[in-house]
Structure 1
Amino acid sequence: MCPTCPQKSSGAKLDMSCFSSFSGSSPNYGSGFSGDTETLTTFSWDDRSVRRVFIRKVYSILLIQLLVTVAIVALFTFCEPVQTYIQANPAWYWASYAVFFITYLILACCSGPRRYFPWNLILLSIFTLSMAYLTGMLSSYYNTKSVLLCLGITALVCLSVTLFSFQTKYDFTSCQGVLFVMLMVLLFSGIILAILLPFKYVPWLQAIYAVLGAIVFTMFLAFDTQLLMGNRRYAMSPEEYIFGALNIYLDIIYIFSFLLQIFGSSRE
């Protein structure tokens, strides 16, 4: 494993690509793929048109993912028969979680499938549907007004962070060590919380965990956004538009999930 690779694990994200350096250009976030072998590649981000096309492609895919997710969340939130069915059949939840985990590992760890059309889009579609189901089922346990409130807050937070990341001179891609440490704190806090919950529910501890999670993934959103820009310390390869959309989509979903735990109120 490359010692400079930022890692996001345990229900979070896992970036398995390595950074390559090249004199006179930004290092690429991600490894190149040529034939049956995987090699580190270099790419000059001086070509503004290539960078614009790459960013446009990432956000076009992301927009479709978010529209599908919002549609499923709305269905699970407003349609009572659907709510009753999915809550009475938790097997679908675990099946969706298994599909989410498998497709995520394939897309995150294997550069071939995520770059080879049309398998990359097929895998991403399956991943998005499974993640949307998980998010929709989580939302079904909360009051409708709470879900709408958290959707609005998430939209405002993500829009603000994205605009700030594009405009600021501060380089979030150089803070991977800090982000990794914060993620490890979140990971072990989650493990402790999972051990304590069967014995006693501690509301304030759950709230602190949710606030920490929202902060961590908001910072990851800024980090992943700047990886797309190409004029920072680390940059994502232009071939990794699927990987870029995957990362930002997960950041947004996790932010929404943690905000739901903070501001959401359970259905009566």
Structure 2
Amino acid sequence: MYGFTSVSSKGDLEEGTLYPGLSYGENELRWGFIRKVYGILAAQILLTTLVSSFTVLYTPLNLLLRGNSGLLLFLIFLPFILLWPLHVYQQRHPLNLIFLGLFTVSMSLTVGVSCAKTDGRIVLEALILTSAVVSSLTGYTFWASKKGKDFSYLGPILFSSLIILILTGFIQTFFPLGSTSVAVYGGLSAIIFSGYIVYDTDNLIKRFTYDDYIWASVALYLDILNLFIAIMEILRGSDG
């Protein structure tokens, strides 16, 4: 009877862990880390929503960004510039939060310009679809991880696909595509960033260290934001 109780308790403990083989103590620490990352991510998404909405609704700022190609180009490259100090100071408080805020705001301004050029109905549809996809993929990854599945093999595949996607996007600036091609490009982008959501969520569960909370939130934030833009491109291309 005692032996049966011990085996049953061990089984219950394994059922509650993030993935097989994780000890109770490590499981508790990992859940604390995950909650911290999602808390930062929620703050980033809220800030992005506020800044993007202000960019869309405040006409002088909207016209300034859309009418000044040099400023808009600077804002497009600014997040890439900020990624370097963000990576260097990711474990130094409060510099990590300052650079994270600047990075989020710079991304939010470009998203706001994209939304301003898009019909409000399409933006809302893209927002709803993005929320549904992110929730579904996140839930699936946690469930699959609990069952012992691993998604680390996606890393090289997704990275190669991302490079091709970036090069194709760069070519588009010189040779604009039609509405159908834009929708197809958006569809491929959506698939790639959906894969990245699974991959980075799996890393969050298993591989990111406890000090990598800033970098983990940035990775997921970029996945979600790029998925939203990709879905918006699909809907805009289809509507066109």
Deviation of 1:252 (Å):
0.6
Q: Does 1:68 pair with 2:57?
A: no
Contact 2:134 2:224 in 1 (8 A): yes
Residue in 2 that maps onto 1:128: 104
Contact 2:55 2:61 in 1 (8 A): yes
Match among 236, 240, 243 for residue 208 of structure 2? 236
Residue in 1 that maps onto 2:34: 55
Contact 2:179 2:238 in 1 (8 A): no
Q: Which runs of 5+ in 2 are unaligned?
A: 1-18
Q: 1:95 to 1:181 in 2, by over 3 A?
A: closer
Residue in 1 that maps onto 2:222: 250
Residue in 1 that maps onto 2:157: 178
Contact 1:141 1:266 in 2 (8 A): no
Residue in 1 that maps onto 2:82: 103
Letter in 2 for 1:116: R
1:24-43 aligned within 5 A: none
Q: Does 1:263 pair with 2:235?
A: yes
Deviation of 1:80 (Å):
4.3
Match among 161, 168, 179 for residue 137 of structure 2? 161
Match among 182, 186, 189 for residue 206 of structure 1? 182
Q: 1:156 to 1:135 in 2, by over 3 A?
A: same
Deviation of 1:180 (Å):
2.3
Deviation of 1:124 (Å):
0.4
Q: Which runs of 5+ in 1 are unaligned?
A: 1-25, 27-43
TM-score normalised over the length of structure 2: 0.81
Residue in 1 that maps onto 2:7: none
Deviations 1:25-69 (A, max 9, x none): x9xxxxxxxxxxxxxxxxx99612211111111000000000011
Residue in 1 that maps onto 2:195: 219
Percent identity reads: 29
Contact 1:221 1:248 in 2 (8 A): yes
Deviation of 1:95 (Å):
3.3
Contact 1:103 1:127 in 2 (8 A): yes
Rounded Cα–Cα distance in structure 1 between residues aligned with 2:112 and 2:200: 24
Deviations 1:65-123 (A, max 9, x none): 00011122222334445433432334442332343121113324x3xx11111111111
Q: Which moved more, 1:93-102 or 1:130-139?
A: 93-102
Q: 1:80 to 1:266 in 2, by over 3 A?
A: farther
Q: Which of the two has higher C-alpha Rg?
A: 2
Contact 1:45 1:51 in 2 (8 A): no
Residue in 1 that maps onto 2:127: 151
Is the strand fraction higher in 1 or 2? 1
Contact 2:183 2:236 in 1 (8 A): no
Contact 1:78 1:144 in 2 (8 A): no
Rounded Cα–Cα distance in structure 2 between residues aligned with 1:264 and 1:79: 23
Rounded Cα–Cα distance in structure 2 between residues aligned with 1:190 and 1:95: 17
| Equivalent residues, number | 216
Rounded Cα–Cα distance in structure 2 between residues aligned with 1:73 and 1:120: 22
Contact 2:183 2:237 in 1 (8 A): no
How large is the Cα RMSD of the aligned pairs? 2.5
Contact 1:103 1:123 in 2 (8 A): yes
